[in-house]
Structure 1
Amino acid sequence: MLNIDDPRVTQTTPAILRLGFRPFFLLGSLASLAGISVWVLALSGAFHFTPHGSGLWWHGHEMLFGFVVAIIAGFLLTAVQNWTGVPGLSGKPLLALVVLWLAPRLLLPLTSVPLELVMALDLAFLPVTAIALGTSVVRVKQWRNLVFVPILLLLASCNALSYFALLKGNPVLAQKALHGGALAIIVIVALLGGRVIPFFSERASAYQRKPNLWYLDAGSFASLLALLIAIVFSVDTMVRPMAGLAAVIILLRWHRWGWMQSFGVPLLWSLHLSYVFIPVGLLLIALGLPFSAGFHAMAAGGMGGMILAMMARVSLGHTGRTLTPPKPMVFGFGIMIFAVVMRVLAGLIGEFYFTLIGLSALAWVLAFGIFIMFYGPMLLKPRADGRPG
């Protein structure tokens, strides 16, 4: 079998296409800047933005199925190599997958392009990614990691529902589809968080990893899935109870991951603080506070903050560098937490909505701008230690 870590393996592939995290982390981060900047400028009236659907639909859709999905694909396509020992997608096949993701991002703002064409391209991405992931898992019969395949397909279904609602002119259904898509992503984050946060905490702090409690793992998955179903199918009486149950289970689960030992390590506290926004958002929903506040706590914090922290850590490790982020990135972690807090407050304090949205957007752009500035060169260059990948 090919040794995927053998430094003698000749690498003729351009560095950016050697593993999935490289192109998807970089392009996904750029997509997040575009998604936030264009939306806030359009919201302020700075210019008239008329993509397919509406500006509101485009913002929600592209932050989920453009930005977040790109990072998930990059992470999973890279992690599956470590899980299975099977070489990850690279070279021309990886380039084709990147183009499949990128094309809808570029075409959605162009109303001269038929929506059906954009939809067909966009809806193909997640199933193709699931096939690439599942093929490696099945090859070594590592069934535990096959769980991500149906979750990716569930996410693809939410994307399809959002397009269907758009074609039918049903904004309420479109919003439910996007909320369902966000919760499907939260399920992925919850599952991955349970693997990587305790592992990273043990490696970089005095924390001694504890065995997983199966009932907390299963409970977090089941309660989030039940919440997703309640929201998409308008079972309103179940939304608050399921949100409360999920919040308690996820908070108990997170409490066992060594957060008290993380404060001296930026790559750890950034992960822990971002992850805890998931149960915080669920609690806000359970308490009957404005749904937008709870939703964006999970979306901006549990997804956006977690993504920034994970990319910062994974990019260092997989480019052969020491696990010490550039000093400006530590500021980026802090300003990202500020962005999340401002966005949550915007959902709670209506009279300061536009001011808080502006502050949140500015902080978000600064945080991801710092990542692109300092990590972009790492992603574009070969590994610092000369090994493949």
Structure 2
Amino acid sequence: MAKGRAGMTEASSAGTRTPLWLQGGFRLLFLGGAAWALIVVTLWVGVLDGFWTLPTAMAPLAWHQHEMLFGYLGAVIAGFLSAAIPNWTGRPIATGWPVAAFVGLWAMARIAVLFSASISPVLAAVLDVGFLLMLFGYAARQIFAAGNRNKPILIVLLLFAVACGLDHAAAMGLTGDPAIGMRAGFALVLFLIAIIGGRIIPAFTRNWLVKKGDAQALPILANRFDHALLAITAMALAGWVFASTAHPVASLLLVAGLLHAVRLTRWAGLRTTADPLVFVLHVSYAWLPAGLLLLGAAILWPIVPASSAMHALGAGAMASMTLAVMTRATRGHTGHPLEADGATVAIYALVNLGALLRVAAPLLSFDYMLSIHLAGGLWASAFLLFILVYGRMALRRPAGAHA
């Protein structure tokens, strides 16, 4: 993500009064989200191995899904918006105690959900949904004050908070479908990837190709094809949320997956292999059509594991895309060059290899749990490496920068 006017002035606007780690919510939210993803995967694998039980009121699988979706992704979405909204609107970046309070609320919600068997499932739900509603309120205030065009994202944010509440209600036995909140949250994040990915991937690719002097057959920016694709994707995902086993829904998912694959070919991704920061966006987006195709196939043909489809979309599309965005945004908003070093390339390789192994695990001939451990280890290593490398970038000024 290129650094905009608001991002370029964040240090000067905050001055020396505000600690660096409170100059923009993305610093702590990206790091906290990555650390939480690492913790959740570790705890979940331990549950599968029978090493421990979790002190949550949720079923272990429901907790794992909830925390990766609303815990980890909630933090990343909030971090992304804290960096992107000032660029969209030209308004000042949030700093100081509001950032500390916001991140603190997210952390309290994670602890409350994990220990909800002892604390209170209702309190956990209030804190969890409250965090997302605060994010919605911040985004709405900034976007409406600036008259910005990104108002549709507000609808997605509000629905994401509703989905989080539904997931808590399901865990308490208050809904007829125990997975409707999870599917709704999943669908909304996938739709965000389709919307935002469709903006930033061709734009960043065009900019890089033009900079390199390769201006022939540039990526196609959003047009009527993309608008139709988003409409079909919305229908397919909505159908999956409310009728997850219906064959017409499966057909829509297959059509959406094919159209996203076509969309990806319009962005000239293979010409960007020399720049991992750009190329990884294309690789990450490729998980979206793959996952949608697998999801549709799993409904029509039970031989296709539904878990493979879900992990293609979750461990693949969501995790890979968020790490791609977090690395780029952290560099762009902390004064570091938009170049991928060896550690950054390793982050991308580890998360994608981990996702690939997890998707293939049910189909491999060797021990399933061994596959799960290897996939989890690779995937978690990507987040650990992100914390070690990008934590320093987020929490320290670059060499030569003035306080």
- Normalised by the size of structure 2, how large is the TM-score? 0.89
CA drift of 1:211 comes to: 4.7
Residue 24, structure 1, aligned to residue 24, structure 2: no
Provide, for residues 20-46 of structure 1, a one-character-per-residue CA deviation record: whole Å limited to 9, x for no partner. 211110000001001111101111112
Which residue in 2 is equivalent to 1:321? 336
Do the aligned partners of 1:227 and 1:238 also contact (CA within 8 Å) in 2?
A: no
Do the aligned partners of 2:59 and 2:171 also contact (CA within 8 Å) in 1?
A: no
Do the aligned partners of 1:250 and 1:279 also contact (CA within 8 Å) in 2?
A: yes
- AA at the equivalent of 1:214: N
Do the aligned partners of 1:320 and 1:385 also contact (CA within 8 Å) in 2?
A: no
- Relative to 1, partners in 2 of residues 1:159 and 1:151: Cα closer, same or farther, differing over 3 Å? same
Greater Cα shift, 29-38 or 224-233: 224-233
Which residue in 2 is equivalent to 1:309? 324
Residue 285, structure 1, aligned to residue 300, structure 2: no
- Relative to 1, partners in 2 of residues 1:332 and 1:203: Cα closer, same or farther, differing over 3 Å? same
Which residue in 1 is equivalent to 2:301? none
Residue 265, structure 1, aligned to residue 269, structure 2: no
Partner residue of 2:262 out of 252, 257, 265: 252
Q: Which runs of 5+ in 1 are unaligned?
A: none
Do the aligned partners of 1:318 and 1:383 also contact (CA within 8 Å) in 2?
A: no
Do the aligned partners of 2:25 and 2:83 also contact (CA within 8 Å) in 1?
A: yes
Residue 338, structure 1, aligned to residue 353, structure 2: yes
- Relative to 1, partners in 2 of residues 1:354 and 1:71: Cα closer, same or farther, differing over 3 Å? same
Residue 159, structure 1, aligned to residue 138, structure 2: no
Which residue in 2 is equivalent to 1:104? 109
- Relative to 1, partners in 2 of residues 1:382 and 1:173: Cα closer, same or farther, differing over 3 Å? farther
Residue 202, structure 1, aligned to residue 212, structure 2: no
CA drift of 1:384 comes to: 5.3
Q: 1:174 aligns to what SS in structure 2?
A: coil
Residue 125, structure 1, aligned to residue 131, structure 2: yes
Greater Cα shift, 370-379 or 221-230: 221-230
Greater Cα shift, 319-328 or 54-63: 319-328
Matches within 5 A, 1:210-225: 210-225=219-234
**Percent of matched pairs sharing the same residue:** 31
Do the aligned partners of 2:348 and 2:382 also contact (CA within 8 Å) in 1?
A: yes
Provide, for residues 100-135 of structure 1, a one-character-per-residue CA deviation record: whole Å limited to 9, x for no partner. 211111122222101111111111111211111111
Partners of 1:33 and 1:164 lie apart in 2 by 26
Partner residue of 1:141 out of 130, 144, 147: 147
Residue 226, structure 1, aligned to residue 235, structure 2: yes
Matches within 5 A, 1:46-61: 46-61=51-66
Which residue in 2 is equivalent to 1:181? 185
- AA at the equivalent of 2:111: L
Which residue in 1 is equivalent to 2:379? 364
Partners of 1:333 and 1:210 lie apart in 2 by 23
Partner residue of 1:275 out of 285, 298, 301: 285
Which residue in 1 is equivalent to 2:19? 14
- Normalised by the size of structure 1, how large is the TM-score? 0.93
- AA at the equivalent of 1:104: A
Partner residue of 1:113 out of 114, 119, 122: 119
* Number of aligned residues: 384
- Relative to 1, partners in 2 of residues 1:270 and 1:203: Cα closer, same or farther, differing over 3 Å? same
Partners of 2:307 and 2:187 lie apart in 1 by 13
- AA at the equivalent of 1:202: R
Do the aligned partners of 1:84 and 1:136 also contact (CA within 8 Å) in 2?
A: yes
Q: Which runs of 5+ in 2 are unaligned?
A: 299-303
CA drift of 1:81 comes to: 0.5
Do the aligned partners of 2:270 and 2:279 also contact (CA within 8 Å) in 1?
A: no
CA RMSD of aligned residues (A): 2.1
Partners of 1:51 and 1:234 lie apart in 2 by 28
